Amino acid sequence: MRSEGRSARRRAVSPSGRARSPVNMAAMGGRQQCLWAAVVALALASEAAFVEDLDESFKENRKDDIWLVDFYAPWCGHCKKLEPVWNEVGMEMKNMGSPVKVGKMDATSFSSIASEFGVRGYPTIKLLKGDLAYNYRGPRTKDDIIEFANRVAGPLIRPLPSQHMFEHVRKRHRVLFVYVGGESPLKEKYIEVASELIVYTYFFSASEDVLPEYLTLPELPAVVVFKDGTYFVYDEYEDGDLSSWINRERFQGYLTVDGFTLYELGDTGKLVAIAVIDDKNSSVEHTRLKSIIQEVARDYRDHFHRDFQFGHMDGNDYINSLLMDDLTIPTIVVLNTSNQQYFLPDRHIENTEDMVQFINNILDGTAEAQGGDGVLQRIKRIVYDAKSTVVSVFKSSPLLGCFLFGLPLGVISIMCYGICTADTDGGVDEHEAVKKENSDRELTDDGSEEEQEEENGKYTELSDGELKQKDLLEKKKD
Ligand SMILES: *[C@@H]1O[C@H](CO)[C@@H](O)[C@H](O)[C@H]1NC(C)=O
Ligand SMILES: *[C@@H]1O[C@H](CO)[C@@H](O)[C@H](O)[C@H]1NC(C)=O
């Protein structure tokens, strides 16, 4: 409490600064209007009061507390969208009596602090706990953010003291990791892994008598994951180190995949086999592909689960813009999350055997990969993004589109005409060189919003790998 006054100035956001009241003011009488404005102002001011506006003193004064901070830029649209959600998060955390303090920092005004915390894009949501900084990368909704904050701020390992507790928790978590046994080197390892992977999942511990009777453990201590209606036991010799096993096992065997899931799956390095379907279409084509994938996920787990994640995706918009392709639903596609390549079946997938054959072809290298993260693909991405921007501008406002793109095009064509009709000797080479230089520059400028220099300083950066393929995914997700 004491540090509050020093660490952060509370500043209620002036409601006049944001004319986002959904009510049509003109349609109301004067007095009512005033009253309404007062109510809105009060509501906004009181919500905003639970979010502390942080400045440079934050760095010194935050140490004793756990902080959930939104690093924003005043000009960024996604940040503006997050603001009302953030105010609600602040209010609810306060009402819950959470020890986590909620703040926001204008990362452009306090850029040296922001970059010390590893802020690269806006908005960036981080939970700061001692020397650790945890990145939030899930959907920006109130409930998801609060769940994240409670999980990461709470105890690393949560004990399950009774059978009743175990059953209760198992119903609530589709994937549940439990350490079974007393103190041991494995437990130390488990705690160490938890301190990193708590951004993704919960970690529990229990004694053997709390667990269901059908469970047979080859030895104690053990780490067990309960999911997909069964359980799997970690085996050091077969499964490699605990951290990568947990990272692989933290998803259900079969998932409904969306942009966020795909982005998260990038951390596992798995190939993702999905049926791209229309969930609302009950025609047999759609349901068949889905159940084929479900069957392979279940019946061939032992063969494929190390390398593959299975699921389906509703609609083809996302996948088409990710792959820059034109897939028609229903279809099956396998994505390599490590390098942005993807595989399409060369013939109709009629049954489970066809699918297994397809997967085996991918594994033995006989299936032909498309896409990827090479230079050509990156250029294609730039062109593709530019094209989508142009199309969307024309769609929303054809006149503006003509003006924005027509005018420069006209100028450029006149210039080209001038260059071409002028003395061509040597001129072409020079022109080529300029073009090449331009495209080089475009490549390095790509994604500049995300590429502010990162200076981690002494803060351990968790969950924010430098994996290139995620930049692409992230761009789509935004
Ligand atoms: C369902 O999918 C089939 C193709 O698999 C398509 O011909 C049909 O029009 C779709 N139905 C609806 C309602 O979209
Ligand atoms: C997926 O990408 C990684 C990284 O480039 C590569 O090592 C691996 O062989 C690829 N997998 C397949 C099945 O192509």
Q: Are residues 51 and 165 in the same domain?
A: no
pLDDT at 33 over 70: no
Q: Are residues 244 and 275 in the same domain?
A: no
pLDDT of residue 338: 84
Q: Are residues 277 and 354 in the same domain?
A: yes
Model confidence at 422, pLDDT cuts 50, 70, 90, reads low
pLDDT of residue 342: 92
- The parent domain of residue 106 ranges over 2-138
Q: Are residues 259 and 182 in the same domain?
A: no
Distance (Å) from CA 68 to ligand 1 centroid: 46
Distance CA 410, CA 418 (A): 12
Q: Are residues 23 and 112 in the same domain?
A: yes
**Residue 289 near residue 354 (C-beta atoms within 8 A):** no
Considering the domain boundaries, does residue 10 fall inside one?
yes
Q: What's the rounded mean pLDDT across residues 206-223?
A: 93
Q: Are residues 27 and 111 in the same domain?
A: yes
What are the tokens at 312? 């389906």
Q: What's the rounded mean pLDDT across residues 123-143?
A: 92
Ligand nearest to the CA of 364: 2
Amino acid at 185: P
Nearest to 357 by CA among 305, 311, 309, 300: 300
What number of other Cβ atoms are within 10 A of residue 418's Cβ? 9
Domain final residue pick, 73, 104, 138: 138
Ligand nearest to the CA of 288: 1
Considering the domain boundaries, does residue 265 fall inside one?
yes
Q: Are residues 360 and 258 in the same domain?
A: yes
Mutate to test the pocket of ligand 2, among 265, 333, 337, 339 (most ligand atoms within 8 A of CB): 339
Q: DSSP strand E in 215-256: where?
A: 222-227, 230-233, 254-256
Considering the domain boundaries, does residue 217 fall inside one?
yes
Q: Which residues contact 475 (CB under 8 A, 6 or more apart)?
A: 385, 447
Ligand 1 pocket at CB < 6 A: 278, 281, 283, 285, 330
Q: Are residues 103 and 165 in the same domain?
A: no
Distance (Å) from CA 306 to ligand 2 centroid: 13
Pairing of strands 203-206, 230-233: unpaired
Q: Which residues contact 291 (CB under 8 A, 6 or more apart)?
A: none
Structural domain tally of the chain? 3
Domain final residue pick, 340, 371, 402: 371
What are the tokens at 230? 């069964």
Considering the domain boundaries, does residue 71 fall inside one?
yes
Ligand 2 pocket at CB < 6 A: 271, 336, 338-339, 362, 369
Q: Which atom of ligand 1 is nearest to the CA of 283?
A: 1
pLDDT at 325 over 70: yes
Q: DSSP strand E in 199-329: where?
A: 203-206, 222-227, 230-233, 254-256, 271-277, 308-314
pLDDT at 389 over 80: no
Question: Would the CA dihedral through 322, 324, 328, 334 be positive or negative?
Answer: negative
Distance CA 395, CA 392 (A): 5
Distance CA 470, CA 478 (A): 12
Model confidence at 321, pLDDT cuts 50, 70, 90, reads confident
Q: What's the rounded mean pLDDT across residues 201-208?
A: 96
**Residue 296 near residue 332 (C-beta atoms within 8 A):** no
pLDDT of residue 446: 35
**Among all chains, which residue has been given the structure tokens 């303090």?**
101
Active-site positions read 76, 79
